[in-house]
């Protein structure tokens, strides 16, 4: 009998619900904000040198919270310079949230936003069909490489669009995170189809090394409160389990033995730590900055 388990991505509404809860329960955005505050100004220090317009490409821009922070740092470094900010994002819902964020943010007069409702692969295919290869001063891909079929080819393509002083910034889960432990052990039992690949910063760094691409690496500490996952029937806990396993209604559809093993695994020190009566999942992030 086929397992009733199916990929969380087959239900976009539930996926977004679980993703938003993940952001609420984790220090993900906080960790990224700290990195953008402390490290980004140095990284972008020369991307716009001598330019009257700076072109930025956001691949998988989501709802735009992190994009707007990045843009504020570029504005601070290059005051008054026109910025073209193009966003590739397949979810119409996320794009409308992004537009709401833009509407509520002041000091964006010198930024021109263009949204492309498509995947990175669709963007690449369209550009190739139109025989266009626009160059960019800064490209960032934040938490999106899991949803790409051919990761080395995608990185190669966007890397080829960098201007001479440009940077390509990639953020995804770190090779030292609980995700790495959980997915290396149980990924093959989850119903991923081809909608999502489990990948960490360690895998990407190996790809870059074999392609001979120079890069810098930063590890960002982050955690997610998964305490509610251990209360049977808790709605938030069920959504977080869906997100952790990329499985639609994991706690209802997973075979009992797999569910038992995953719940055990989540409590182990390789995945989580217990602090103040809470179970905090290791959500560490890896930041990779690639030169042209």
DSSP 142: E
| 236 domain residue, yes or no | yes
| 46 domain residue, yes or no | no
Q: pLDDT (tens digit, 0 to 9) for every residue of the chain, 292 residues total?
A: 456 899 998 898 999 999 999 999 999 999 999 999 999 999 999 999 999 999 999 999 999 999 999 999 999 999 999 999 999 999 999 999 999 999 999 999 999 999 999 999 999 999 999 988 899 999 999 999 988 989 999 999 999 999 999 999 999 999 999 999 999 999 989 987 666 688 999 999 999 999 999 999 999 999 999 999 999 999 999 999 999 999 999 999 999 999 999 999 999 999 999 999 999 999 999 999 999 9
Number of domains in the chain: 1
| 47 domain residue, yes or no | no
Q: How far apart are CA 208 and CA 68, in angstroms?
A: 28
Give the residue ranges of the annotated binding site.
Answer: 28, 283
pLDDT computed for residue 193 by the predictor: 63
pLDDT computed for residue 147 by the predictor: 87
| 1 domain residue, yes or no | no
| Helices vs. strands in the chain: H and E counts, helices first | 12, 10
CATH of the domain at 205: 3.40.50.150
pLDDT computed for residue 1 by the predictor: 44
Give the residue ranges of the annotated binding site for substrate.
Answer: 28, 283
**Angle (nearest 5°) at CA 21 between 8 and 261:** 55
Q: Using CB atoms within 10 Å of the CB of residue 170, give its burial: 0 to 12 exposed, 13 to 18 middle, 19+ buried.
A: buried
Q: Residue 60 in contact with residue 143, Cβ under 8 Å? A: yes
Phi and psi at residue 192, to the nearest 5°: -75, -25
């Amino acid at each position: 009998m086929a397992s009733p388990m199916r990929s969380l991505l087959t239900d976009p509404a539930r996926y977004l619900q679980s993703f938003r809860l993940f952001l609420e329960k984790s220090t993900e955005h906080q960790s990224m904000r700290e990195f953008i505050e402390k490290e980004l100004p140095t990284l972008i220090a020369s991307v716009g040198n001598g330019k009257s317009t700076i072109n930025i490409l956001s691949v998988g821009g989501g709802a735009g919270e992190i994009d707007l922070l990045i843009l504020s740092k570029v504005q601070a470094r290059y005051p008054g310079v026109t910025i073209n900010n193009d966003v590739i994002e397949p979810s119409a819902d996320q794009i409308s949230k992004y537009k709401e964020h833009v509407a509520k943010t002041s000091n964006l007069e010198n930024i021109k936003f263009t949204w492309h409702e498509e995947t990175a692969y669709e963007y690449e295919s369209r550009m190739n069909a139109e025989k266009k290869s626009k160059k960019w001063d800064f490209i960032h891909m934040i938490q999106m490489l899991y949803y790409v079929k051919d990761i080395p080819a995608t990185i190669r393509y966007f890397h080829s669009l960098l201007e001479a002083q440009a940077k390509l910034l990639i953020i995804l889960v770190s090779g030292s995170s609980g995700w790495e432990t959980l997915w290396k052990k149980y990924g093959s039992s989850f119903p991923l189809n081809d909608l999502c690949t489990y990948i960490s910063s360690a895998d990407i760094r190996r790809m870059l090394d074999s392609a001979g691409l120079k890069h810098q690496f930063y590890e960002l500490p982050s955690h997610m409160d998964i305490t509610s996952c251990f209360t049977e029937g808790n709605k938030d806990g069920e959504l977080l389990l869906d997100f952790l396993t990329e499985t639609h209604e994991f706690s209802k559809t997973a075979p009992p033995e797999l569910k038992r093993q995953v719940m055990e695994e989540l409590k182990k020190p390789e995945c989580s730590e217990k602090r103040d009566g809470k179970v905090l999942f290791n959500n560490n992030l890896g930041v990779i900055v690639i030169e042209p």
